[in-house]
Structure 1
């Protein structure tokens, strides 16, 4: 038996040594990132500190910490990593032999011609071992592809955390802006009621028409409707913020920040490409290209002969106590070569090549979208910066007009309605200013998302997702 095994080894070993494993050859993929440049200072987007530190607000930091520990999308992404890790272990297990232990008992009764019954009770114990040599690198290719899937899911988790953080920041900004808007509308309502009182007095003195009262009542009703809508909007935004932080929508939530945060101006020279390369979705997209390349190698290796070594130890006896006394040993080796499969394996190679090209095209498109998102965020912020400047200039003029209206009123040249109208104009301009400032801040948030802004380290997010608690930053 040993001689046969030695001969088999001598025959097969040269085949193994002469084989060359398939490895993917990935050429550099040119994208729009290689042809885009910008001169924005590298320290404009600080990749050393959490991106929302630009707001200098402990309040939003609390919401972020709570979200990373409780948000269910983050937890789902965490378990996708666990799935990928298990899949990798399954693929890597093919490097090792497999062994199966079997134990059987057979009971047989047979009647003879003399009506005697012969009973046979047999025990059998066996150990089967098999191992398939990875002569073409198929096992390695599958394991490498599975390992890359782990990293892809890690970057997907990082991307999910980044998107979550920007959604929280935008919601927080919207709540603050709507609270400011509510205060503005309340002041508008008070002033319009004052105007109504003046018009009412003038009507009774036959100095104003009844239609003036009706028009003013319509204005008051419209403002009251806006107040009701704004209160409802704040409640909905708070519900959204609760959901983002993994809390019941109806839970009580407090937003104590009264003013919109001040952010520094953006440089005029654009965003450097190096910032965009930090995006987790781009890193995941590139790893997906590499994973697809390894799958091509696996499909190619599957078309070639495979070497499988098997060994078995078996023994049968009528007495269980004798089962371990003697064993029968069998060793074998087989070289299996696909001959006819209807073109299945060839088609699989072509399919994996097409999947690889799809991954390359997707990566290029992702890079293109990244540049577009960054450029759109920059354009939007510049647009709102101009609107803010224009509104501030109009507000300055409106304040001067109010001073002149008050001077004319105290001089007896005009009535108080003119003064109230100027105050209403100022309030409306302030409301527009709040709207443009919040829109500018949200454009900056989009810019940080487009540039892959800094979020907590992945191990901290994983720890929070696993334990369902808030980790200290």
Structure 2
């Protein structure tokens, strides 16, 4: 066996050891959020916020719709594929932490007028970069953090999807209830028209009263048509969110808005920052940029790599493994002049990190604002709903009294018509406000929500 080891490269090891021992720190401490969080939110409740927050409404149909959407929504499925890509990139980058080993084999045949020969060869080659300054480790850690950020983004998409399902479902229920109310109001207006026409036939009314009431009946019919169109649009929107083609009419039937659950415990802003997946994503990106900066700084220092090979060559396959040639080499690459390229990359990485830190801070402020906005809107809508209910009771009483006075000839029909329209407008406004109040609660749950356990991907369900 023939062995040849390039001893000249081994003389570089003492130099590498000195450089390693005298190396200075490559980067500062990890970045911090650029603002101070408030101690508490302005309001809070007692009910705990569950990851499956939609179950708080006690609506079985909504529970089924959200579960179906988390399984079948195509945008969420696309997000899962992005997660698989990020995980694969992280695995690819982490492979640089380990030695690589390649095997080669070949056969070459040469022929001439006087002779012919065949040569067989086989070999193994290995290489490994000694990560003196942590550059390879930093790059691997950066990609791992980006994969974690993509997972958080997937979770944030699931929270957003569940919120869209709940909002669209409540809007659909409200429009269906509006349709039933419009039918009832149309029937009422028709009955009133019958009374007006009878009185006109007996000379107790003028034609203007009949025309006004006919106009109200016609407007009631038009409202039915408008609501029917809105119901169709919302059904199409909900079907697409469920991963179904629009136009299918297998959605659940429900015309009753649920009651508003008790106000949830908002906790403190510091807990919100730890819980919300979109903020987790933003922070993971900051951490990844921090690792990129460390890698850029480390790239300015020397690199040391080791290469080893084992080769054999023979004229017959049987003799191929009789003789070997082994080599071991250590290579040191020291950057000397690069025109400022590496220094510029450090500055760029610092700027990227600074940008992401500020974006993270803005995301935190936006998250806190979303909670506070939802709390303010809910308080205002509760007050509005109570006021509308009071107004509706008064309007109903007013209409009944004016109707009786009109039948007795004490007031004009125009006063009755105005009271009737006010009463019906308030009935419609109450339904709309109830739906808006529920959707405001959905916004509050979304602002407080953490990761949805049922939407967490596993390697077992990869398509």
1:414 shift after superposition:
6.2
Contact 2:45 2:262 in 1 (8 A): no
1:10 shift after superposition:
4.9
Structure 1: which 5+ residue stretches go unaligned?
111-115, 469-473
Q: Deviations over 1:385-444 (max 9, x none)?
A: 222122112112123324434654686756999767655543321211111111111111
Per the alignment, residue 107 of structure 1 pairs with: 109
Change (3 A) 1:270 1:466: closer
Per the alignment, residue 328 of structure 2 pairs with: 331
What is the distance in 2 between the residues matched to 1:185 and 1:465? 51
Per the alignment, residue 115 of structure 2 pairs with: 118
Q: Does 1:171 align with 2:168?
A: yes
What is the distance in 2 between the residues matched to 1:42 and 1:203? 59
Per the alignment, residue 31 of structure 1 pairs with: 35
What is the distance in 2 between the residues matched to 1:406 and 1:213? 15
- Other structure's SS at 2:110 match: strand
1:119 shift after superposition:
2.9
Per the alignment, residue 87 of structure 1 pairs with: 89
Q: Does 1:461 align with 2:456?
A: yes
Alignment length (residue pairs): 458
1:58 shift after superposition:
1.3
Q: Deviations over 1:70-102 (max 9, x none)?
A: 112221222222112211111111111111111
Change (3 A) 1:463 1:407: farther
Per the alignment, residue 234 of structure 2 pairs with: 237
Structure 2: which 5+ residue stretches go unaligned?
none
What is the distance in 2 between the residues matched to 1:280 and 1:123? 58
1:233 shift after superposition:
1.0
Contact 2:296 2:346 in 1 (8 A): yes
Per the alignment, residue 162 of structure 1 pairs with: 159
- Other structure's SS at 2:260 match: coil
Q: Does 1:260 align with 2:257?
A: yes
What is the distance in 1 between the residues matched to 2:144 and 2:118? 50
Corresponding residue to 1:272 among 258, 268, 271: 268
- Other structure's SS at 2:457 match: helix
| Higher mean displacement: 121-130 or 271-280 | 271-280
Per the alignment, residue 56 of structure 1 pairs with: 58
Q: Deviations over 1:191-210 (max 9, x none)?
A: 22223333333444444444
Per the alignment, residue 113 of structure 1 pairs with: none
Q: Deviations over 1:303-357 (max 9, x none)?
A: 1111011111122222222212211111111101122223222221111111101
Change (3 A) 1:151 1:195: same
Taking structure 1 as the reference length, what is the TM-score of the superposition?
0.87
Runs of 4+ in structure 1 over 6 Å off: 409-412, 414-421
What is the distance in 2 between the residues matched to 1:431 and 1:418? 20
Per the alignment, residue 11 of structure 1 pairs with: 14
Per the alignment, residue 471 of structure 1 pairs with: none
- Other structure's SS at 2:217 match: helix
What is the distance in 2 between the residues matched to 1:464 and 1:233? 41
What is the distance in 2 between the residues matched to 1:225 and 1:465? 53
Alignment of 1:358-437 (within 5 A): 358-405=355-402, 408=405, 422-437=419-434
1:228 shift after superposition:
0.9
Q: Deviations over 1:281-321 (max 9, x none)?
A: 11111111111000000111111111011111122222222
Corresponding residue to 2:436 among 435, 439, 447: 439
